[in-house]
Structure 1
Amino acid sequence: MNANNLLTRMNEQYASMSKNQKKLAAYITDNYEQAVFFTAAKMGEVVGVSESTVVRFAMSLGYKGYPQFQKSLEEMVRLKLEKTQKMNITTTRTSKKDVLQKVLASDCDNIKRTLEGLNQSTFDQAVSSILNAEHIYVVGVRACAPLAQFLYFYLQMIFKNVHLVTSSNVTEMFEQMVHLTNKDVVIGISFPRYSMRTLKAMEFANNKSAGVITLTDSVHSPMNLYSSCNLIAKSEMASIVDSMTAPMSVINALIVALTMFRKDEVVKNVEFLEDIWEQYQIYENDEIDHIDDAFKNKYKHIGELK
């Protein structure tokens, strides 16, 4: 059983795991570089469960025992080291004056491969699901948080009921999604290393029968376990960071497509915002001017915009 299977199995079985097993799965996903050195007893001590629980957890995932489970952890670390070695080789062969050219060329290649691999019908399905949703939830944490915030910012200009789910733990994320129904849609964004928080939010949405759209890097991503609408964007880069250029381009395409379907609403909202920016000198200067009555009367009933 390889490392990818380990992550996949943990996520597939998460819903049926006991409370202590879920604690182990969450810890291992986020800290496998440390976990690989632990004995079963040490793992239990760190996570706060018994040694026997750790052993049973390994066996429940299909391993003969903890030693075989630990080998899969070693494989996960090895794959990460290979990426680091690749990064070292690339930086060694690349002179500082070539960095700009090579990084932008790599980003262009990611966009090209994303365009070649992204299914148009899947993209159209995502657009349709968002247009028909009563509420739209956007989830993205850690390195994906800026992508989620960008998407949320522009969705607010198109739709009324948009929610950005942010938190440092899964429990608080669930609290922000407590009113989720089968008429809503959740957009989850996650790239390696995949966030357990985002994965659990997607599982929660799936269990609530909400529409689930994922933006991730591969058909093999564990994010796809909870979604039938998977937008795949390439993010490879031999560096300490992954490239988010292609994912951002897919988000831009989504926003433009949605805007085309809601043109009248967007125009009204943008005109309203432009008036606000002008009256409050948001983009001009810091001088204080009187806000005239014409502006107040024009927008006294904000509901007219929707």
Structure 2
Amino acid sequence: MDRNIDLIKKIKEEYPRLSKGHKLIANFILEDYDKAAFMTAAALGQAIDISESTVVRFANRLGYEGYRDLQKDLQGLIKNKLTTIQRLNLAEREYSNDDTLPKLMERDMENIKKTINEINLEKFNEAVDIVLNAKKKYIVGLRTSSFLAGYLGFYLNFILDDVHVIRSESNDIFEQLLRITSDDVLIVITYPRYSKRIIEVVDFVREKNVTIISLTDSKLSPLAEKSDISLIAVSDMLSFIDSLVAPMSLINSFIISLGNKSKEDLNNYFIQLEEIWERYDIYERSET
């Protein structure tokens, strides 16, 4: 199943063939999916006076291995609507003081595994080639995503010329992109809650026929359909913070792939850079 929106579509398609009990579950989800998303199978069953096992069988009927998988897709539908206060309350329920560390790390590992399984390698390699061949490379990410944009830009500057990280704290974002042309590429990074400004930036650049590569969390992201290539890195965490582990891992892979295709130039660049670092005593030297 292609997740989230397809879930609602699937429920509506299956509805006429559902049993009486399953129709009760379907009605509850269609009417209150934001509430159902954070209810256990037992709690959902209790709310509509049916058994927990019936709820689990409903999830199986829709193609899920268990109710937990169905619940995750429901949460994906609403995560961009959650306020920071709601996220804080959810984090308190999800993680206790005793198991916060292992649970969060397990969630991060799960996000990386999902990203590996869902990434389109053909599109990934195509994006690498586009960036290599672009005249200028612009990178933008707002709010939390600005850290990812800065990290990507830092290393791209080692590999390529004309790399421009758009200053997200500035009010002149559009002015910084005024001279972008169809020979250039825009790499845009965004995660929930999606910034309205980043969508405006993409719309502005699209008018100039610029190739747009997005790094985001889902095919349902508002930027996915606005981009020429959308690279998905899962960021699934019920908390007031964003999990950027999988996005960072994808960015690392992107940087290494670019470096491998520019190995000779990059090698010469680092030879010169090491000479500068040594001349100006940039780094602490290890004693041998």
Q: Per the shorter chain, which TM-score range?
A: 0.5 to 0.7
- TM-score, length-scaled by structure 2: 0.67
Residue ranges of structure 2 left out of the alignment (5+ in a row): 6-76
Deviations 1:231-289 (A, max 9, x none): 0111111111110011111101100100010001111111222111111111128xxxx
**Counterpart residue identity of residue 104, structure 2:** V
**Distance in 2, Cα, partners of 1:130 & 1:106:** 31
The answer for the alignment partner of 1:242 in structure 2 is 242
| Amino acid aligned to 1:221 | S
CA distance in 1, matches of 2:129, 2:249: 19
Comparing 86-95 and 103-112, the one that deviates more: 86-95
1:138 — aligned with what?
Answer: 139
1:16-27 alignment, distance < 5 Å? none
Q: Which residue of 2 aligns with 1:101?
A: 102
In the alignment, is the contact (CA less than 8 A) between 1:158 and 1:262 conserved in 2? yes
Residue aligning to 1:222: 222
Q: Is contact 2:141-2:188 (8 Å) kept?
A: yes
**Structure 1 226/78 Cα, relative in aligned 2: closer, same or farther at 3 Å?**
closer
Q: Which range is displaced more, 216-225 or 133-142? A: 216-225
Over the matched positions of the two proteins, sequence identity in percent amounts to: 39
Conserved? CA contact 1:169–1:197, under 8 Å: no
Taking the TM superposition and a 5 Å limit, the aligned residue runs for 1:125-274 are 125-168=126-169, 172-274=172-274
SS in 2 for 1:147: helix
Give the AA of the match of 1:266.
L
Structure with the larger helix share = 1
**1:188 partner SS:** strand
Indicate the RMSD between aligned Cα atoms, in angstroms. 2.4
- The number of residue pairs the alignment matches comes to 210
Tell me the SS of whatever aligns to 2:187: strand
Instruction: State the distance in 1 between where 2:235 and 2:101 align.
Output: 17
Q: Is the 8 A contact 1:187 1:213 kept in 2?
A: yes
1:104 to 1:197, Cα distance in 2 relative to 1, 3 A: same
Question: Deviation of residue 100 (structure 1)?
Answer: 1.4
- SS at structure 2 position matched to 1:223: coil
Conservation of the 8 A alpha-carbon contact between 1:86 and 1:238 = yes
**1:121-147 Cα shifts (integer Å, max 9, x gaps):** 110111111011000000011100110
Q: Return closer, same or farther for 1:93/1:251 CA change in 2, 3 Å cut-off.
A: closer
SS of the aligned residue for 2:99 comes to helix
Distance 1:239 1:250 in 2: 22
Distance in 2 (alpha carbons) for counterparts of 1:90 and 1:191: 18
Instruction: Give the TM-score of the pair, scaled to structure 1.
Output: 0.64
Runs of 4 or more, structure 1, over 4 Å off, are: 75-79, 83-87
Alignment-derived partner of residue 12 in structure 1: none
For structure 1, the 5+ residue unaligned runs are 5-74, 286-306
For 2:78 and 2:219, locate their aligned partners in 1 and report how far apart those are by CA, in whole Å: 18
Q: Distance in 2 between matches of 1:147 and 1:76?
A: 24
Distance, in Å, in 1 between the alignment partners of 2:207 and 2:79 is 32
State the Cα deviation string for residues 196-228 of structure 1 (Å, max 9, x = none).
222122112211111100001111111123212
